[in-house]
């Protein structure tokens, strides 16, 4: 397989493409063409979106997110390496299943519908479903973000991170992830290589969940790898040291293509590094 020089970065829930502001030039300096599409209803400056919610936000579901990225990929001259964070990690798995990527990376990824999350996940993200709310969308409080996203960064940096990245989120995205059969993954289907990255201190999707999702893949001729970064939170792509995560992904991808004609580890035994 010829190595693609195109990367698509998918942001997760509760933030927007601002989370990739440093990743994009970082990868472009290494010779890649990088796209950081904004999920529907998330376009704009986070501080402004907190004051004036995008009119399309409440219309946006997980299916819309995947279709938005798939439509972008269909316009590209080559299939990309797709990297997604949080909900974007689950979108990555779906795009891999749909044949839209040469390889996929799920960073602190949300589980498919057919993987039941741990109690810790349910307790943290339950407000984002809006089942018991009269509000039209979810906007996490400073306290929620401090616990769910920013738990490993210095207290003096938490307010800055909230101001820079926090945005309102559609209930429909979370609901489709857990209620719509579109959000199932066919774990028996052959697939391109997938790397799962977890944060050892992630309060939303703990590393046990990351390992569980990776372990569900069954095709013995398809590659699955796992890397857990200890002491990293759900804010793994933005907290200090994010470059080590970005470098690990690119090394994994480039090393795979350098050795793709060799016998590779099988997916039935996920590889830990």
- Tokens, residue 100: 């839209």
| Helices assigned H by DSSP within 86-231 | 87-97, 119-125, 142-148, 155-165, 171-179, 207-215
**Per-residue confidence (pLDDT) for residue 2, from 0 to 100:** 62
**Per-residue confidence (pLDDT) for residue 1, from 0 to 100:** 52
**Per-residue confidence (pLDDT) for residue 134, from 0 to 100:** 80
**Per-residue confidence (pLDDT) for residue 270, from 0 to 100:** 58
Q: Into which CATH architecture does domain 6-272 fall?
A: 3-Layer(aba) Sandwich (3.40)
Q: What are phi and psi of 238, to 5 degrees?
A: -125, -20
- Domain residue ranges of the chain, discontinuous segments joined by +: 6-272
> What average pLDDT values come out for the chain (273 residues) when binned by 10 residues?
87 98 98 98 98 96 98 98 98 98 98 97 95 90 98 96 98 97 98 98 98 97 97 98 98 87 48 53
CA angle, residues 106, 246, 96, in degrees to nearest 5: 30
**Per-residue confidence (pLDDT) for residue 258, from 0 to 100:** 80
SS (HEC) of 36-67: CCCCCCCCCCHHHHHHCCCCCHHHCCHHHHHH
**Per-residue confidence (pLDDT) for residue 51, from 0 to 100:** 97
Q: What is the dihedral of CA 241, 211, 262, 190, to 10 degrees?
A: -120
């Amino acid at each position: 397989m010829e190595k693609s020089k195109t990367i698509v970065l998918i942001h997760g829930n509760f933030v927007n493409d601002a989370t990739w502001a440093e990743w994009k030039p970082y990868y472009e300096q290494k010779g890649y063409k990088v796209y950081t599409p904004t999920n529907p209803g998330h376009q704009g400056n986070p501080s402004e979106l907190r004051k004036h919610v995008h009119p399309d936000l409440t219309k946006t579901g997980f299916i819309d997110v995947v279709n938005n990225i798939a439509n972008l990929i269909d316009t590209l001259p080559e299939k990309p390496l797709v990297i997604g964070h949080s909900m974007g990690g689950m979108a990555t798995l779906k795009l891999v299943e749909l044949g839209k990527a040469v390889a996929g990376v799920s960073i602190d990824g949300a589980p498919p519908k057919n993987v039941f999350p741990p109690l810790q996940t349910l307790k943290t993200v339950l407000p984002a479903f809006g089942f018991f709310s009269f509000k039209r969308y979810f906007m996490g409080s400073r306290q929620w973000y401090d616990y769910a996203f920013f738990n490993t960064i210095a207290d003096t940096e938490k307010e800055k991170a909230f101001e820079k990245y926090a945005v309102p989120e559609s209930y429909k995205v979370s609901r489709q992830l857990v209620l719509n059969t579109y959000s199932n993954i066919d774990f028996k289907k052959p697939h391109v290589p997938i790397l799962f990255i977890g944060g050892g201190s992630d309060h939303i999707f703990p590393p046990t969940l990351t390992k569980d999702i990776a372990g569900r893949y069954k095709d013995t001729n398809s590659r699955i790898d796992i890397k857990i970064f200890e002491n990293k939170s759900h804010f793994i792509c933005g907290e200090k040291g994010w470059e080590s995560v970005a470098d690990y992904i690119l090394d994994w991808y480039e090393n795979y293509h350098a050795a793709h004609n060799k016998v590779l580890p099988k997916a039935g035994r996920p590889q830990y590094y």
